[in-house]
Amino acid sequence: MQKEKVLSDLYNGRLNPITQKVIHGSEYKKAMCSLSHLEEQLNSQLDEKQKQLFKEFVSAQIQLTSIGSEERFTYGFRLGAKLIIEIFSQDDEQLKPITG
């Protein structure tokens, strides 16, 4: 049964969305490479004080992105759960059994 496999994988740490691999050639991978290249170019033009400030800026940006990603993931998961609850809790005349 699929449900039991997902629950087992979640419990045993085999299901972890944050550890998904980046697909080579994907738009995400291309954007990541572009960002890395631009960061290298910018760093080569900064003095040590500016590099430290930029490093702190990047760290703050990563933290903000991480918080936002977690909030969007949580919202999406809750929305999906609410949809499922609504689907199974509606005693709608339009939804008649197709068997029996």
Render pLDDT for 44-87 as a digit per residue (tens, 0 to 9): 999 999 999 999 999 999 999 999 999 999 999 999 999 999 88
**Average pLDDT, stretch 2-7?**
73
CA angle 74, 35, 15 (to 5 degrees): 30
CA distance 27 to 33: 10
Residues 8 and 29 in one domain: yes
- 51 and 40 fall within a common domain: no
Residue 13 has pLDDT above 90, yes or no: no
How many distinct structural domains can be found in the chain? 2
- CB count within 10 Å of CB 8 equals 11
Helix, strand, coil percentages, rounded to 5, for the chain: 75, 0, 25
The model's pTM: 0.65
pLDDT of residue 1: 44
Q: Which domain holds residue 85?
A: 47-92
For residue 3, pLDDT over 70 is answered with no
- Given a cut of 90, is residue 93 above it in pLDDT? no
Does 40 fall in a domain? yes
